[in-house]
Structure 1
Amino acid sequence: MKNLYHIAEDVSRASGGVRTVVKDIQIQFPDSKILTTVKDQDDLDIQEFSNKGPWLYSSDLKAHLNGLVSTSIFHIHGVWMHAQYAAAKTAAKSNIPFVLSPHGMYEPWLWKEGRLKKKLYFKGVSSSAFAKARYIHAITPEEQKNLQKLFPKTEVVCIPNAVEIEEMVERKAPSRPYFLFLGRIHPKKGLELLLNVFASLKMLDFDLKIAGPENDHSKELQRLAQQDPRIRFLGEVRGLDKKHLYRDAHAFVAPSYSEVVGMVNLEAAMMGTPVITTHQTGLLNEWSHNGGILINPNREELRNAMVDTSKWTNQERDMAGKKLREFVIKEYSWKVNKPKWEAIYNSMT
């Protein structure tokens, strides 16, 4: 296989799921390299380039890309910043094959934010550059349909996000059962809806724990929740502490308005924890028949799901979590999905 480069404008922990996906693919293909304009200080294996302005323009990254020979493959992650545009233009000029993973950034719900600016950028700048991709990568069948409409002449392939098969950590039943959300705290995650629904369930002897890096939205949510002592904001949680947080939760709840197979849903399921999430996450419908619950992100459906799961005994909870874990291993593990990426990359040689 040719030299494989992953290019994204931001792979810091604050970037959320994109970082997880890019790092996971690099683990599966350890000879590949990650090039970015934003990383964390402890990411010693990632090459970072200086940037400036809201577009994160980087002349250093552009020059580095121009220096890569035609024995390279580019895997471009994301769509809105200079890093992706520069990589696509360089690839076309130097006859370097590339695959583009938008990571859900062209999903209809997200066009509502800065709609006019995004449409102008897509039509005037990025669409012609990205249309030269050998493949455009969708994470769900629904995203595949949306991307094929945007890029009718480019082959759109569907490969879901994937997780490693991991052993479950030992479960320690907490003194009070809790629902858990963990991830990037952003309006599209439906956390305001989650807080309002949970606050209305005053009869539940449960806590709600929310883990994720603090930002302006998390501060706003904390103000909304300050009257309910059952709601706890934990900040960022990593490593083994994160696995235990997943494992000990009665259920994981992610009422997202738009997602492409959120990695946190898969991580929670891998720890044997039942997951309540939405149809809008792009998960297979069979999720609901294999220990998980799929809803629409509205008050009634979320309320019913949380009330129903709160009535589970520990045995019922464990049975649902075990079934969901087995389903995720079958459909979303790297064991199943790595060969799909190998076929894509090898076809670009």
Structure 2
Amino acid sequence: MTTNVVHVLEDFSLSSGGLRTVVKELNERLLENGINSVIISTRCEEEDDIILVKGGSVPWRYSSNLVDEIKRLHTNKKIDLIHIHGVWMYPQYISAKYAFNNNIPYIITCHGMLEPWLWTKGKFKKEQYFKRIVYQYFNSANYLHAITPLEAKELKKLFPKSKIKVIPNLISIESPFKANLSFENKYILYLGRLDEKKGIDILIKAFSNLEDKNIRLKIAGEFNEYKNELAKIADDLNILERVDFVGLVKGKEKEKLYREAFVFVAPSHSEVIGMVNLEAAKNQTPVITTYQTGLLKDWNKNGGVLINPSENNLFSELSKAVSWSRSERNLRGQKLRDFVEKEYSWDTKIKDWIGFYKTTANEIK
């Protein structure tokens, strides 16, 4: 019998970054494996085949018709499981409440949104909302899904009685290609959301201290107010002419940007793996990122580098990285790609999701 799964998240547009990538791929893989999967969100791209509900541009992403759409799906074809992605917006709250009140099994993936570093931003409001509004429904979920063991540990502190399942973010790995790049115009790449938690300011400062002034730094991500702050940091350090703010990239342009980078850097203060780390690795580009991503420690032994997010730590590793020979850079990129294929690919891990969904769908509280 087919399992019917509904995914709920507040933003499925490109601006949601890695969250879109994860949910889109999960939905497609489930459909390929005989699970009837649909996505509900308040925002998406024109080409997306999802259920778009109201609320994409209002505070809290309040949606007047989200519950009606869930009811319609449940009436037409009984929902076996609701998978809720995220924490802080109305779509997560109301879908958890609906599942709870209608005895529908449900899973919540927090996607790192309850990590300790993030509680330091707007702490009082977050604590009140968490305790008074959503806790009772989140605490009653059949499972909390954690992306890393580190996230599972933090979730256990918040929900000591909840069942927690760990499955990492996954990525599709295509056939390997033969890198044949000269790296004459060498650059360091950051790609992702322009946000304080991503540690981009640390990257700019570390980059400014490199001896080789011919190396460029490319920062790719949709422009917002924080972009102006980053540009000011670069300007104050007199390196703005060597920093390229690329804007939002996608498709072939993004792949090309990854592949031609000498090294990819994501010095995030808080993350759950970070899809950009996996994307860069699959494109055979070495990756410097942080322990705070929760990546397996063997990342360090397989061409990648893990650090704690500080300017000194990053400068030290960047200095080493830009001194790699072309052959060492390519060897590191190949090893990291092989490691990601083994530990983080859909082909090796999709069975974990299918088993998890089928088990949870049979649990009635």
Matches within 5 A, 1:160-309: 160-168=168-176, 170-226=179-235, 227-228=238-239, 229-309=241-321
CA deviation map 1:303-341 (0-9, x unaligned):
010000111100000111111111101111112221110
CA contact (8 A) 2:183 2:262 kept: no
| 2:93 partner SS | helix
RMSD (CA atoms)? 1.4
**Aligned counterpart, 1:77:** 85
Deviation (angstroms), 1:196:
1.0
**Aligned counterpart, 1:48:** 52
2:133 to 106, 125, 129: 125
Distance 1:214 1:171, change over 3 A: farther
Unaligned runs of 5+ in 1: none
CA contact (8 A) 1:268 1:275 kept: yes
**Aligned counterpart, 2:339:** 327
Q: How many residues align?
A: 348
CA deviation map 1:236-276 (0-9, x unaligned):
11111111111111110011000000000000000111000
CA deviation map 1:69-90 (0-9, x unaligned):
2443111000111101111111
- TM-score, normalised on structure 1? 0.96
**Aligned counterpart, 1:21:** 22
Distance in 1, Cα, partners of 2:293 & 2:182: 29
Distance in 2, Cα, partners of 1:50 & 1:108: 31
CA contact (8 A) 2:6 2:79 kept: no
Distance in 2, Cα, partners of 1:71 & 1:196: 50
CA deviation map 1:15-48 (0-9, x unaligned):
11111111110111123111011222332x0211
| 2:73 partner SS | coil
Q: Kindly, what percent of the aligned residue pairs are identical?
A: 45
Matches within 5 A, 1:57-76: 57-69=62-74, 70-76=78-84
CA contact (8 A) 2:60 2:89 kept: yes
- TM-score, normalised on structure 2? 0.92
Distance 1:266 1:9, change over 3 A: same
Unaligned runs of 5+ in 2: none
Mapped pair 1:104 → 2:112: yes
Runs of 4+ residues deviating >4 angstroms: 168-171
